[in-house]
Amino acid sequence: MFSIYKKELQSFFFTPFAYALTALFMFLFTYMFNSGIGNMDSSTYSFSFPEIFYNVIFYFIFLVPIMTMRTFADERKFGTETLLMSSPVNVFQIVMGKFLANMTMFLFMILGSAVFPIVTALNGQVVVGQLICAYIGFFCWGAMYISLGMLISSFTENSIISAIIGELVMFAFLFVDDFSQTAFIAQFPKLQSVLYAFASQPRFIYFSQGFIRLSDIVYFVSAIVVCLAWNYISIEKRRWNRG
């Protein structure tokens, strides 16, 4: 598994890809941070994550599929999938190695945002509990969407198609709670409750407000496990089809 992990990290950090994606993320966070400062009513800026992280999540949706689109699609496109499938590592190790590499890339991106609470602490107030909870929630949310993006990448050999489908699916999950509140869906209470159960947005809001609920942790962990399990099945099926 470590060999797969190392290979994926090299594909990120030995090319401009990781640094360009991180620069885009930092640009988004900086924009939200500056917007918060511009809208403040006092000379002391209290670092508030409910608004900043909520807005960052909306725009970060565009970056996650770009990060994960090459995970399996490029292996198929460039003909390295056969070599990967015939390697000594099993499918579980392949999936987990790629997932951990994507998560390392994700951590590299969000660690850069730590400069903002440091700057805020020097010039205002930092609500530490809310800050920690928001980062935990953002990490869980990112892990879930990364596993989903990897799953979508395993279905196609075209990374662009993988990114487009990923965008659509992730936006659907992001706004499923709004859809469940529409007048039409409200006519079917059971359907409404089922749709709302799949919504990730309300669960992240609790994290960003400084609350950690067991049900929210279970939701994100379960979603990650399910996506990785489907990813394993998808790759294993292709392995068996190749004989």
pTM of the model: 0.89
Domain count across the chain: 1
Query: What confidence tier does 44 reach under pLDDT thresholds 50, 70, 90?
Result: very low
> Which among 60, 5, 4, 72 is positioned nearest to 28, based on CA atoms?
60
**What range does the domain containing 180 cover?**
2-37+45-241
* Span 117-149, pLDDT tens digits: 888 778 777 778 888 888 898 899 899 999 999
CA distance 82 to 212: 43
The three state secondary structure string of 147-211 is HHHHHHHCCCCCHHHHHHHHHHHHHHHHCHHHHHCCHHHHCCHHHHHHHHHCCCHHHHHHHHCCC
| pLDDT, tens only, 194-232 | 887 888 878 887 887 778 889 899 999 999 999 999 999
CB 127 within 8 A of CB 210: yes
The answer to whether residues 139 and 153 touch, using CB atoms and an 8 Å cutoff, is no
The top-scoring range by mean pLDDT among 9-18, 42-51, 185-194 is 9-18
Token pair of 45, please?
Answer: 């800026």
Spell out where the chain has E strands: 46-47, 125-126
